[in-house]
Amino acid sequence: MIPKKNPNVDVGRNSSLYFAIGLIIMLSITYSMIQYKSYDIKKDSSELVEMQEEFEDDIPIVNHETLPPPPPPAAAPEIIVVVEDIDEVEETVIESTETTQEEQIADYVAVEEVYVEEVEEEIEVPFSVVEHVPVFPGCTGDNNDELKACFEKKILNHVMKTFKYPDRAMEMGLRGKVYVLFAVGTDGYITNIRTRGPEKILEDEAVRIIASLPKMTPGMQRGKPVKVPYSLPINFKLIQQ
């Protein structure tokens, strides 16, 4: 038989109540401590300012008498000299250049004859279609094709003979192909030299070579001398030794 405890003396009988009361008390204390504010007590301080009596210096009052400005000098009397008119002055009358309705307009001048000066236009015919190609000095042939072949051969020989690689271009390692376009004029001289290349130094050398070509017999078209353009590539190439 298990003995039973007296419910009045049971310690854990109201434990939940005690826990709730203790929790409320702790929260109240914590809240009060959080809300508590403290202030620094400032001590009143006093400062002492000593004032000294200002020293006043008596400044003497000086009266400056302002003198009036001196009177202006007396002006010299004006002397008026009357000169009699000796020479008569001729007045120039300016005539008006405006016309009036009554003024008659001069008759126009008739032109009986007008002289028109004829200027021969310089005709340019390509090298491939011109009737008679320009003749290089020393070239001979029975027909136009033979003269063309001789012209091209002489041009090539001239380039190879007068060609000189520029020293500056060799030092800089410049190379490339320069296209030269020129024309054999109606008087047989070389004109209108134009170049297109990779470097200005190479183009100048190409111009020098073509400009040194000799005078030729001009090309002919329908019995009249014509300008014949011609193009030539010059290849500048360095050969490593």
Evaluate whether residue 62 is within a structural domain.
Answer: no
From first to last of its 241 residues, what are the pLDDT tens digits of the chain? 455 556 666 666 677 888 888 889 988 888 888 887 766 655 554 444 444 555 455 556 666 566 777 777 766 566 666 656 666 666 676 766 666 666 665 555 565 666 666 656 678 889 889 999 999 999 988 899 999 999 999 999 999 999 998 989 888 888 899 999 999 999 999 999 999 999 999 999 999 999 999 999 999 998 899 999 999 999 988 876 5
**Residue 46: per-residue pLDDT:** 46
Residue 135: Cβ-neighbour burial (10 angstroms; 0-12, 13-18, 19+): buried
Note the pTM of the prediction, 2 decimals. Answer: 0.49
Question: Which pLDDT value is given to residue 72?
Answer: 74
Which residues have CB under 8 Å from 181's CB, separation 6+? 192, 193, 194, 195, 229, 230, 231
Q: Is residue 95 part of a domain?
A: no
Q: How many domains does the chain have?
A: 1
Closest CA to 208 of 141, 161, 152: 161
pLDDT, residue 32, reads 83
In a domain, 93, yes or no: no
Candidates 229, 236, 223; CA nearest to 168 is 236
User: DSSP of 76-123, one letter per residue?
Assistant: PPP--------SPPPPPP-------TTSPPPPPPPP------------
Q: What is the residue-wise DSSP string for 157-220?
A: HHHHHH----HHHHHHT--EEEEEEEEE-TTS-EEEEEEE-S-HHHHHHHHHHHHTPPP-BPEE
* pLDDT score of 137: 92
CATH code at 179? 3.30.2420.10
Residue 203 domain-assigned (yes or no) = yes
What's the pLDDT at 62? 60
